[in-house]
Chain A
Amino acid sequence: MTELLGIPPQVLFGQVLLGLINGAFYAVLSLGLAVIFGLLNIINFAHGALYMTGAFVAWFLLSYLGLGYWWALLLSPVIVGALGMVLERTLLKRIANLDHLYGLLLTFGLALIIQGLFRNYFGSSGQPYQIPPLLAGGHNLGFMFLPNYRAWVVAASLVVCLGTWFVIERTKLGSYLRAATENPVMVQAFGIDVPRMVTLTYGFGVALAAFAGVLAAPIYQVSPQMGADLIIVVFAVVVIGGMGSILGSIVTGFGLGIVEGLTKVFYPEASSTVIFIVMAIVLLIKPAGLFGRAA
């Protein structure tokens, strides 16, 4: 078997694929953060906890109601999105006019509550979740083995990301959203119910996190801690990409996933820190972020 740069191609492409999967999660999560930040001016620290909740809802649906993966993929984002809308209406709404930092602190508190509750009932160990039968197995592509489920995760995330981009950038609803991001008072004056739009936007951003959680459930174990460290990496992704552009978030998410995967091949010791190193370099060269507008 020929080798690329001294690395067997199966290893190389295998890690790139793993990187793409992580990148898919980074992209979906950072997209949700960016959409929420655009309208609410809140960095949603609870995003990781709600991603975890999404995975747990899938597990509950299977364990208690016997509803499988495909139902979970549909219902979990709806349920978690509804939970998000309740949180927005009851809590986040009250601090809308305060310094943005309070939003960060409030959602951090929410993340602690959600993660603590799940850890009380499930401990730190993970619950297994089976790959749906339709996507079990894989294909041999000659240079590597491609598990079907992993290909599905990348494809589904891409479709959802691009769908979100299309809705926001190319539809009437999206134009309202963008207008409200620019100037909520003016949009309100035109007769559009901005508070309802804020609630729906938070619900949608949170639903994206839950969707990523369901996608992640069969790959990683469903555990209370699964979102805690991930959200910090996603923050770094957001700093690198800047929150100004939707396509920017998507490209940055997938790109950094691949960078992380490649680091695992060539210098595994740095694989958990490489995204933070990239962040530091980007801050030195282009402080506003790769796709960001100067603040």
Chain B
Amino acid sequence: MASATGQIGTAAAASRAPVHQYVAFAVMVLLLVAAPFAIYPIFIMKVLCFALFACAFNLLIGYVGLLSFGHAAFLGAAGYITGHAAKVWGLTPELAIVAGVATSAVLGLVVGALAIRRQGIYFAMITLALAQMLYFFCLQAPFTGGEDGIQAIPRGRLFGLIDLSDMMTLYVVVVIIFLAGFLLIYRTIHSPFGQVLKAIRENEPRAVSLGYDVDRYKLVAFVLSAALSGLAGATKVLVFQLASLTDVHWAMSGEVVLMALVGGLGTIFGPVAGAVVIISLQNYLAQLGAWVTVVQGVIFVLCVLAFRRGIMGELGRLLKRPF
């Protein structure tokens, strides 16, 4: 394996991130610094949690070509464990998050190991079915609180020192978590490992014939994506102080697909843009009730028919630079 990854290393060095992506990243960071002075911080934190979730999802569909229709399982499971750890076990926030992320990673290992046994559409159906199984488990398990969820989860003190009940402190922590997750995904995509993932996406039989253990690469990518989705879920629970069935429901799995699709599948900043658009939309359309579902459905249909590159994909095409 070592020699195999080394072989691709040259290609990775050649595809070092171009300057415009650094500029885009700097713009994003500046916006994050300025945003809380103009916009309600809880809203931005919600967007950031979903942006991280969508980035993690996009790592699979955009760079390995695997459509997971069950990613809500990882978001929700980490949320429940983090909430339970913070409220019942009284762990500090960072340990609660670690517990949540670890849960999602293990769950990702199990779901991934089963799902990669089939390709394409079957992969999507299997992940959806296994996520639904987790949903029923969460509905029945005593510690999740069933329909009520886990409420009034304490935000606690980070490392036992920093009080997270202060809104701006929490905001800074959430921004750091988001940026760390984002950069990890960015680094993964541009690593030799990421090059192999793209090779699998482009031509799986060829990658096999070149001697790559394709299933192992897929599984590692799946676990990484699940763990990062878990990080998003765990952070979200600390922000809203609530873990509920919404986060494990199939509708949530659909939402993350929509975010990545709107922003641009296989683009680096696309899922972030998609999360901003979809969460803002939900916010403004909230009083319309079930129409939100209809609007999301319409966006799905329109994106698939006429806007398959997504926001960042189209932008990248116009500027002739990948975002």
Q: Which residues of A contact B (CB under 8 A)?
A: 37, 43, 91, 94-95, 98, 100-102, 104-106, 108-117, 119-120, 228-229, 232-233, 235-236, 238-239, 269, 272-273, 276-277, 279-280, 283-284, 287-288, 295
- Interface: B67 (CB within 8 A): yes
B217 touches A (CB below 8 Å): no
Q: Tell me whether B308 and A232 are in contact (CB under 8 A).
A: no
- Which 8 interchain pairs have the tightest Cβ spacing? A109-B300, A112-B297, A116-B293, A113-B297, A116-B294, A276-B133, A236-B129, A287-B117
Q: Write out the residue numbers on chain B whose beta carbons fall within 8 Å of the beta carbon of A280.
A: 114, 130
Query: Which residue of B117, B124, B128 is within 8 Å of A283 (Cβ)?
Result: B117
DSSP class of A's interface residues: helix, strand, loop or mixed?
A: helix
Measured between C-beta atoms, what is the minimum distance from A94 to chain B in Å? 6
The closest CB in chain B to the CB of A123 belongs to B290
Closest to B117 in A: A287
CA distance A133 to B291 in the complex (A): 38
Task: Indicate with 1 or 0, residue by residue over B129-158, a CB within 8 angstroms of chain A CB atoms.
Answer: 110110011001000000000000000000
Task: Determine the chain A residues whose CB is within 8 A of the CB of B132 once the complex forms.
Answer: 229, 232-233, 236, 276
Is the pair B114, A95 in contact by a Cβ cutoff of 8 Å?
A: no
Please measure, in the bound complex, the distance between the C-alpha atom of A158 and the C-alpha atom of B303, giving whole angstroms.
39
Do A101 and B117 form a contact, CB below 8 Å, given A239-B126, A239-B129?
no
In the complex, besides A108-B257, A287-B117, 18 extra interface pairs with C-beta distance below 8 angstroms are A105-B261, A109-B299, A109-B304, A112-B254, A112-B296, A116-B291, A116-B297, A120-B294, A228-B250, A232-B128, A232-B132, A232-B250, A235-B129, A236-B125, A277-B133, A279-B126, A280-B130, A295-B122
Shortest CB-to-CB span from A241 to chain B, Å, is 12
Cβ of B21 within 8 Å of any chain A Cβ, yes or no, is: no
Q: What does the 1/0 interface line of B104-136 toward A look like (CB < 8 Å)?
A: 000000000010011111101110111011001
| Shortest Cβ gap from A102 to chain B (Å) | 5
Chain B 64-82 residues near chain A, CB threshold 8 A: 67, 69
B130 touches A112 (CB 8 A): no
Contact partner of B294 among A113, A233, A236, A239, CB < 8 A? A113
Given B121, B130, B140, B303, which contacts A101 in the complex, CB threshold below 8 Å?
Answer: B121
Q: Give the A-B contact count at a CB cut-off of 8 A.
A: 120
Contact across chains for A94 and B305 when beta carbons are under 8 A apart: yes
For B250, the chain A residues whose CB sits under 8 A away are 228, 232
A235 touches B254 (CB 8 A): no
Per a CB cutoff under 8 Å, which of A109, A119, A276, A295 touches B130? A276
The reply to whether B129 and A276 form a contact with Cβ atoms under 8 Å apart is yes
Nearest chain B CB to A289's CB is how many angstroms away? 8
**Residue ID in chain A nearest B257 by CB atoms:** A105
Instruction: Find chain B residues with CB under 8 A from A108 CB.
Output: 254, 257, 300
Sample of 25 A–B contacts (CB below 8 Å): A37-B121, A101-B121, A101-B124, A102-B308, A106-B300, A109-B297, A109-B298, A110-B297, A116-B291, A116-B293, A116-B294, A117-B294, A120-B289, A120-B294, A232-B128, A232-B250, A233-B129, A235-B128, A236-B129, A236-B132, A239-B118, A276-B133, A279-B126, A280-B130, A287-B118
A244 smallest CB distance to B (angstroms): 12
What is the CA–CA distance of A112 and B298 in the complex, to the nearest angstrom? 8
A239 to B123, CA, bound (A): 9
Chain A residue at minimal CB-CB distance from B305: A94
Task: Tell whether B11 is near chain A: CB-to-CB under 8 Å.
Answer: no
Contact of A279 among B69, B129, B257, B290 (CB under 8 A): B129
Among residues of B, the one whose C-beta sits closest to the C-beta of A237 is B129
Contact with A along B236-261 (1 / 0, CB 8 A): 00000000000000100010010001
B301 at the interface (CB under 8 A from A): yes
* Nearest Cβ on chain A to B67's Cβ, whole angstroms: 5
Q: By the criterion CB–CB under 8 Å, are A112 and B133 in contact? A: no
